[in-house]
Amino acid sequence: MPPSPASSPASLSVLCRRAAVAATGAAALVLGLATPALAHVTVNPGSAEQGGFTKVAFRVPNERDDASTNKLEISLPTDRPLAFVTVKPVPGWEVEVTESKLDKPVTTEYGELTEAVTKITWSGGEIGPGQFQEFEVSMGVLPDDTDHLVFPATQTYTGGEVVKWDDEPAADGSEPEHPAPVLKLTPPSAEGGHGGGHSSVSASPAPAAAPSVAPVAHSGAASSDGTARLLGAGGLLAGLAGVVIGVLGLRRGSRTAQAGTAGEENPAVPA
């Protein structure tokens, strides 16, 4: 009996080729979507409440195949200076916090501010190809007269290349070529004051000492969208690979079954 069309070698071969093409196309599509999300320096989480304190992480991906990132500079706003800035140590990296005298003193609830942190520099470590690093900073008091803060960044590679991420947000909402990290500021929540969502915490009311900032737990929502897409891409590729392997196994099984049928129809004649 001839094999049915559904299990013929020609049909299985076509099915294998189609599955392979689908896997390749899906991989290219998913990875293509994931790449832009990892292409520049970002601040995470991307928003905090006005008038409070927050802890953020500047996420730095290395987008070069032949060089590592060995230096990061973050500039802090001088038009709306932050009275309190502290940096979390990063193993293998040295950090330098630069304070500058303000052109015009700023009056805060803790007194007159004449100097403020204007730049933070991390150096001495390396972020290899295909890797990223996060640099955490606690800061406050966040201004209540603007809806965002811009933190221009400068990324330096071991080959000497310097990339400036300092483009201001576009008025039409489109992303510029080298966007600066932007922290969006939202009004305080009605029920929690400055201690509401977005990893913001309020300052202590003690007037004589620096306000204490409660530790802020890492939020799963702050994970890189690009990292999530890459993980999704891996799962999709694994599933498609399983389809291809299953089809190949079906093809081999069909050939074995055909060989067995042929043997039964033409038994060997004893000598």
Domain with 61 in it: 39-222
Percent of the chain that is helix, strand, coil (3-state, to 5)? 30, 35, 40
pLDDT at 97: 98
Question: Would residue 94 count as lying in a domain?
Answer: yes
In a domain, residue 30? The reply is yes
Q: What is the pLDDT of residue 62?
A: 97
The Cα–Cα gap between 194 and 188 comes to 5
Quick one: 56 and 13 in the same domain? no
Q: Are residues 107 and 235 in the same domain?
A: no
State the Cα angle at 125 between 94 and 221, rounded to 5°: 90
Q: Would you give per-residue pLDDT tens digits along the chain (271 residues)?
A: 555 544 555 555 555 555 554 554 444 444 444 344 447 999 999 999 999 999 999 999 999 999 999 999 999 999 999 999 999 999 999 999 999 999 989 888 878 899 999 999 999 999 999 999 999 999 999 999 999 999 999 999 999 999 999 999 888 888 899 999 999 999 998 765 544 344 454 444 344 344 433 333 333 333 344 444 444 545 555 555 555 455 555 555 555 545 454 444 445 444 4
pLDDT at 106: 87
- 267 in a domain, yes or no? no
98 and 188, same domain (yes or no): yes
pLDDT computed for residue 154 by the predictor: 98
CA-CA distance, 230 to 228, in Å (whole number)?
A: 5
Query: Which residues, other chains included, contact 32 with Cβ-Cβ below 8 Å and sequence gap of 6+?
Result: none
Tokens of 213: 């900032």
Q: Are residues 85 and 110 in the same domain?
A: yes
Assess if residue 93 is contained within a domain. yes
Residues 109 and 12 in one domain: no
Domain boundary among 222, 240, 264: 222
For residue 267, give both structure tokens. 């038994």
C-alpha to C-alpha distance for 208 and 53, rounded to whole angstroms: 18
Dmax over Cα atoms in the chain, in whole Å? 111
In a domain, 264, yes or no: no
Contact 33, 126 (CB under 8 A): no
**pLDDT in the model for residue 235:** 54
pLDDT for the residue numbered 229: 46
Q: Measure the CA–CA gap between 240 and 19, rounded to whole angstroms.
A: 7
